[in-house]
Amino acid sequence: MGLGVQIDVYAERMTDTQLGIFCLMGVFATLCIGYLLTALVKNICRIKNKLLRAMIYYITIALLLLDPLYLSFFCSFLAAGI
């Protein structure tokens, strides 16, 4: 397993609705955190440490773009081999 966390669930014990909600919650959480960081931009800009500011900037961009890009484009290529 590479970097990150993998969650294993018993999909056969879940209804289609439960499985759909489970799959969407990761995307929802990622987008919420990204928008939260965007809302806190004035506070983040007050941070004196340039490295920390840059890290938060790129983390915000990654959180706002990674899941939507994966779900809309890359999923068809990456999941095709599974």
Q: What is the pLDDT of residues 42-75, one digit of tens each?
A: 998 899 999 999 998 888 888 778 777 766 666 5
For the chain, the structural domain boundaries read 26-72
Q: What is the pLDDT of residues 4-41, one digit of tens each?
A: 566 677 888 888 888 888 878 877 887 788 888 888 88
Q: What is the pLDDT of residue 8?
A: 72
Q: What is the pLDDT of residue 50?
A: 93
Supply the pTM of this predicted model.
0.56
Q: What is the pLDDT of residue 79?
A: 55
| DSSP notation for 3-71 | SS------GGGS-HHHHHHHHHHHHHHHHHHHHHHHHTHHHHHT-S-HHHHHHHHHHHHHHHHHHHHII
